[in-house]
Amino acid sequence: MCYAIPGKIEKIEKNTVTVDYFGEKRKALNELTEINVGDYIYAQGGFVVSKVSSSEAESILALWKETFFHLQEVDLRLSRLNLGDNNADKRLLEILDKASQSKELGRDELLYLLELKDPAGLELFFKTANFLRQKYHKNSCCVHGIIEISNYCLRACRYCGISSHNKELQRYRMTKKEILESAQVAVQDYGFKSLVLQSGEDPGYSADELADIIKEIKERFPALIFVSFGEIGIEGLQKLYKAGARGLLMRFESSNPRIYEEVHPGQKLESRLIHLQQAYKMGYMIITGGLIGMPGQTSRDILNDIFLAKELHAEMFSFGPFIPHPNTPFAVLPSAQVEEVIKVLAVARVIDNAQAKILVTTALETLSREAAKKGLLAGANSLMLNVTPLAYRKFYSIYPNRAHQSEDIAVQIEATISLLRSLGRAPTDLETI
C-alpha cells in the first residue's frame, strides 16, 4: 500500500536484481523487461512490481529517510530479549534460551510452548518469538490487499458461512469491470503493491475468465497477484500462473485427515495438498496454514499443521481462529481463544525463524482489537487489508462481524500505518542480504 519504499537497482544478474534501501541491500526477482541499474522500483514479496520515476522516488525517499532509521530503532528497542534475571519456570527458560539461539527444538519442547498457560511465561515466550522475527526479518512488514470477488461456493464446509448450506446469504459475483475497478482503486489510489483475489469455489467463473482478469490487472495496475479460489484444478492453476498470478493463498485447514474429512464433507485433504504441491512446483509463492479451534483438534494436530505449512514451502503462514457462524452446522461451537492463536504464530516463528512471513489474520483481529499488535509482537510480520467494495464486503460472511467489515480502505490504511509506526515496522518485505 502507500506504506511502501522505492528501492534503487544496484545490480542485475539474469532475472535477479539487488535493490538498495538506505544502504540495506535486498534481492528481488524481476520479470519486467525494461529495467536498468540505477532505476527505482517497488518490490513486494520477492518480486519487482513496478518501476517508479526518479523524481517521484527521490521525493518519497526524502520523506522516508529519517523515518526509516527511527523505525529501525523503535523495532530494535521493542524486540530486545532478556531471559536472565526472572522467575520463570526453569524448563521454559531452557527452551526459550535454546530457541533464541535458533537451535532446533524437539516436539515435546514445542508442545510445551503450545500448551503454556501461565501469563508471565507466555509473555516471555512471545518476546522470544519477536526477538527471532527481528533477528531474521528486521523490521520489514508486508501488507496485502484482498478483494473478495464472489461469495458463491459449491462446497459445504461445515464451519464456513459462505458454504452452499447457507441458504439465507445474499450471493454476489463481481463482474470483470468491478474487479478491475477495485484493483485500480487499490493499486492506483491507495498504492497497494500486492493483491489477493479470493472467492468461494465458484463455478460461475471459468479459469480462462479468471486468467483474463488477472492478465488485465497485471497490464494496467501492476501488482503482485495472489489467487485464492479454492481447488480450481492443476490446469486452472497453470492458466492463472501464465496470466501473471505469482502467489497461491490456500489453507489446508487441518493436517489431520480425519478432522479434514469431517469438516469438509465429500472432500479429501490429499486433493488440497496436491494443489499446493503442484502450485509450488509451477513457481507460485505459497501462503498456507490452518484453522485453530476445530472440534477434536489437539495441540499435536496444531503442531503438525505448522510443520505441514513449512513442508509445503510456505512463504507466508496463515493461521487463524475458527469463529462460529450462526447459519452453519458449527453455530454452537466456541471460538478459538486469542491467546491460543498467538501461541501458534509464536511457535511458527520458533520453528521457521528465518524463512516464513507470518500473517495476522482478520479473524484474529475480529476476536480482539488488540490482536494485530499482539501478533506483530509475537513473531508475525504481515497484515492483510480488505479492499473489497463496501457494498459487497458484508456478504463475504465466512464468519460474522468480521473486523474492517464496514471500514473504508482509507480508514484501514490510516490505522495500519499508525500501528506499524508505533511498532517500528517498515514496509520493505524483501530479505536483507
Residues 169-208 that bind ligand SAH (CB under 6 A): 198, 200-201
Name 253's bridge partners.
Answer: 290
In sequence order, what are the residues at sequence separation of 6 or more whose Cβ sits closer than 8 angstroms to the Cβ of residue 83? 93, 96, 97, 100, 124, 128
Residues 1-40 that bind ligand SAH (CB under 6 A): none
**One of 5, 71, 169, 323 touching ligand SAH (CB under 6 A):** 323
Residue 232 in the binding site for ligand SAH (CB under 6 A) = no
Task: Take residue 363 and report the three cell numbers written for it.
Answer: 479473524
In the block, cell 518469538 appears at 129
Residue 253 in the binding site for ligand SAH (CB under 6 A) = yes
**One of 346, 399, 404, 423 touching ligand SAH (CB under 6 A):** 399
Choice between 72 and 228, CB closer to ligand SAH: 228
Binding segment (CB under 6 A) for ligand SAH, from list 122-130, 256-264, 321-329, 371-379: 321-329
Q: For residues 147, 152, 153 and 154, what is the CA-based torsion angle, rounded to 10 degrees?
A: -150
Which helix (DSSP H) or strand (DSSP E) does residue 91 occupy?
Answer: helix 90-100
**Torsion sign across C-alpha atoms 222, 224, 230, 233:** positive
Task: Take residue 343 and report the three cell numbers written for it.
Answer: 501461541
CB neighbourhood size of 167 (10 A): 6
In sequence order, what are the residues at sequence separation of 6 or more whose Cβ sits closer than 8 angstroms to the Cβ of residue 55? none
357 alpha-carbon distance from chain centroid: 7
Residue 305 in the binding site for ligand SAH (CB under 6 A) = no
Q: How far apart are CA 280 and CA 247, in angstroms?
A: 9
Choice between 291 and 387, CB closer to ligand SAH: 291
Residue 251 in the binding site for ligand SAH (CB under 6 A) = yes
**One of 64, 126, 159, 392 touching ligand SAH (CB under 6 A):** 159
The site for ligand SAH, by CB under 6 A, has a size of 19
Name 148's bridge partners.
Answer: 198
Choice between 39 and 201, CB closer to ligand SAH: 201
User: SS3 for 304?
Assistant: helix
**One of 137, 325, 404, 425 touching ligand SAH (CB under 6 A):** 325
User: SS3 for 424?
Assistant: coil
Binding segment (CB under 6 A) for ligand SAH, from list 43-51, 247-255, 337-345, 372-380: 247-255
Choice between 116 and 197, CB closer to ligand SAH: 197
Minimum gap (Å) between residue 163 Cβ and ligand SAH? 8
Residue numbers at the binding site for ligand SAH (CB under 6 A): 159-160, 198, 200-201, 228-230, 250-251, 253, 291, 320, 322-323, 325, 363, 398-399
